[in-house]
Amino acid sequence: MTYYVYILKCADDTYYVGSTNDLEGRIAKHNQTKAGAKYTRSRRPVELVFSEQYQTKSEALKREAEIKSYRRGQKQDLIDLPEYNLRHYQNSKHIRITVKPDGSVNVSAPKRVAKSDIDKFVAEKSDWIKKQQDTYAKSRTSTQHVDDKRSYASYKDAALRLVTRRVEHFNDHYGFRYSKIRINNTKTQWGSCSATKVLSFNYRVAFLPPSLVDYLVVHELCHLQEFNHSPRFWRLVAETIPNYKEARKLMRQEGIALY
């Protein structure tokens, strides 16, 4: 079983630290029910800004207690860390960072090194990590979109299958009615929702990380209920994407709009 240690940002700009073996379910409780922590009930909506995975409950509880002892600035530094996958090796002598072509970051470290020391090392190398990720991202973009028409023909079916799965998944929660799902090749939009309840998505959704696909799908689904970007709309989005602000920022970096 996987256990998660997480940080939530509350509506009053404070942070809440917790642990769970069901991250999605626990965040939903923080936002919607009395089963959430007493601290977060009067500070809704909350959004996920940080999480880590552990193999045992005792490891997660130990890390939760450590993060709870951090000052606000230390928590912010942790939130700002590049996301990374950690492996401990008995015979390792140094902490090593590897950035893969897909942008993911792998860190290997000796077993004796504390997690807080690893975080500090990663923070010191964050500029280098970002530079490597940007280089790979530019390379992926240039190879993926050399021929737009050929690329669209190659990926539109996969994009439709992907989007349809995620729309059906999230609409189990919302229960909204839509007429159909359409995949297009627009230059300026990731997605849109029409007055006739047609959900349209750019075929390039097939190249996005899963978390951004989910945000994109939920964004357009919620326009079926709120055809605007009002506080009511964002509350709907937060029901299933608590960290929507971070996803929204990342989508803006992609340079194509949502409607």
Strand partners, 180: 198
pLDDT tens digit sequence for 101-144: 778 888 999 988 988 899 989 988 888 888 888 877 766 555 55
pLDDT tens digit sequence for 182-229: 999 887 788 999 888 999 999 999 888 888 999 999 999 999 999 888
Q: How far apart are CA 20 and CA 15, in angstroms?
A: 16
Give the predicted TM-score (pTM) of the model: 0.51
Q: Are 245 and 198 in contact (CB under 8 A)?
A: no
Q: Are 81 and 122 in contact (CB under 8 A)?
A: yes
What angle is formed at CA 235 by the lines to CA 231 and CA 236, rounded to 5 degrees? 120
- Find the DSSP H helices in 111-147: 115-124, 126-144
Residue with tokens 């975080």: 119
Q: How far apart are CA 245 and CA 252, in angstroms?
A: 11
Is 80 exceeded by the pLDDT of residue 254?
no
- What percent of the chain clears pLDDT 70, i.e. is strictly above it? 93
CA distances from 62 to 40, 68, 69, 114 (A): 22, 10, 11, 12
* pLDDT at position 97: 92
* pLDDT at position 12: 93
Burial of 180 (0-12, 13-18, 19+ CB in 10 A): exposed
* pLDDT at position 147: 55
Q: What is the mean pLDDT of residues 154-171?
A: 94
Smallest Cα–Cα separation from 82: which of 63, 66, 106? 106
Give me the CATH topology for the region 148-258: Zincin-like (3.30.2010)
Give me the CATH topology for the region 1-80: GIY-YIG endonuclease (3.40.1440)
Report DSSP letters for 59-92, one per residue: HHHHHHHHHHTS-HHHHHHHHTSPP-EEEEETT-
* pLDDT at position 253: 66
Domain extent listing, the chain: 1-80, 83-144, 148-258
Smallest Cα–Cα separation from 32: which of 44, 15, 16? 44
Q: Are 163 and 201 in contact (CB under 8 A)?
A: yes
Reduce the DSSP state of residue 144 to 3 states and report it.
Answer: helix
Confidence of residue 259 (pLDDT cuts 50, 70, 90): very low
Provide the pairing of β-strand 198-202 with 180-184. parallel
